[in-house]
Chains A and B, each alone.
Chain A
Amino acid sequence: MLQKNTIAPDFTLYATPDQKIKLSEFKGKNVILAFYPADWSPVCSDQMALYNETLKFFHKYDAEIFGISVDSKWCHLAFSESRNLHFPLLADFEPKGDVANKYGVYDEEEGECKRALFVINKDGIIEWSYLSPTAINPGADGILEALENLNTK
């Protein structure tokens, strides 16, 4: 898993069925990458649903968040609509898990992303990373603490 002070590998992934997002286009902003195993985990303790509620806290730190899983863009679309999500879910679908692999957070056995968080600074450098046990939603406190640390530098 990539650690602090590593250059965040660039990638281009589908965010919607007809739109791609390129990480390097977000230089000048802080970026949070939230790799997660799969869409459609149980409601109320769902990690993406939680981040959907904490967007305004992330924006306070001039940070954008992207969820990333190996689900397809169509699956993401349906999931995103059903949960009313207001941030992009990226499809690490083809080649499968390629981006997760580059970040060192691909679970070969399950064929899914591990549950991992990265905070990337405005220059595209990883400032904080965290690997959560797959079954446990890590919440948002670690991300906010990492963003707070960026700000006080």
Chain B
Amino acid sequence: MSLKPSVNSKDHVQGNANADLVIVEYGDYQCPYCGAAYPVLKALMKEFGSQVKFVFRNFPLSEMHEYARIAAIAAEAANLQGKFWEMYDAIYENQSYLDEDFLLELAEKLDLNISQFKNDLEKTELADKVDADFESGILSGVNGTPSFFVNDKKFDGSAMDLLELIRANAS
């Protein structure tokens, strides 16, 4: 199964934007398995950030996780103020506290313009972006969260498997 569409200008990117190794995560901010993958991905980017282009796409399982969708929209709203990854980190680092009020607290901690942030949460464009990510995941064969793609191909393994694979290839 391959990634549809490929990584493009609408995606959130960290690491080396020109790297040959492109990792895409489809994640849900409330999913405990994504929470468990988070520190592993952090370690991966710390070790190999100069060689990896890392992309995050939203895949909120809204029926299972009450706050997954609003969290995804909140990160997109932070993105409008240039702080996508800061919000992504803040949510995963405090996953157990996640709810609507806590997202506002995080926005304050990140020094976002709160009235703009609140306005942006209501924007249909942001909801559409989250939905478009979700749909791309479905069409790409995402079957749960987190799901990873390595250079556009579905990687059937965990974040730890991914890190071990990269370590093995690097040594």
Binding site for B on A (CB under 8 A): 43-47, 49-50, 52-54, 57, 83-86, 136-141, 144
Contact = CB atoms under 8 A, between A and B. Distances in A.
21 contacts: A43-B32, A44-B145, A46-B144, A49-B61, A50-B61, A50-B144, A53-B61, A53-B63, A53-B64, A53-B134, A84-B64, A85-B63, A86-B63, A136-B143, A136-B156, A137-B143, A137-B144, A141-B1, A141-B138, A141-B139, A144-B138
Interface in B61-99: 61-64
Contacts of A52: 63-64
A83 B64 contact: yes
Interface string B129-163: 00000110011111111000000000010000000
Interface of B: 1, 28, 31-34, 61-64, 134-135, 138-145, 156
Contact of B138 (A46, A49, A140): A140
Contacts of A50: 61, 143-144
A121 B28 CA distance: 33
B144 A44 contact: yes
A142 B63 CA distance: 22
Give chain B's interface secondary structure class.
loop
Given A49-B61, A49-B64, A84-B64, A44 B33 contact: yes
Given A52-B63, A141-B138, A144-B139, 6 more contacts: A44-B31, A49-B64, A57-B138, A84-B63, A139-B1, A139-B143
Nearest to B145: A44
Contacts of B142: 139
Contacts of B34: 44
B36 to A, nearest CB: 10
Given A44-B28, A44-B32, A49 B63 contact: yes
Nearest to A143: B138
CB-CB nearest 10 A-B residue pairs: A45-B144, A139-B143, A137-B143, A141-B141, A139-B141, A44-B31, A84-B63, A44-B33, A52-B63, A140-B138
Contacts of A44: 28, 31-34, 61, 64, 144-145
A139 B135 CA distance: 12
B2 to A, nearest CB: 10
A45 B145 contact: yes
Nearest to A138: B143
**Residue picked from B31, B32, B64, most chain A C-beta under 10 Å:** B64
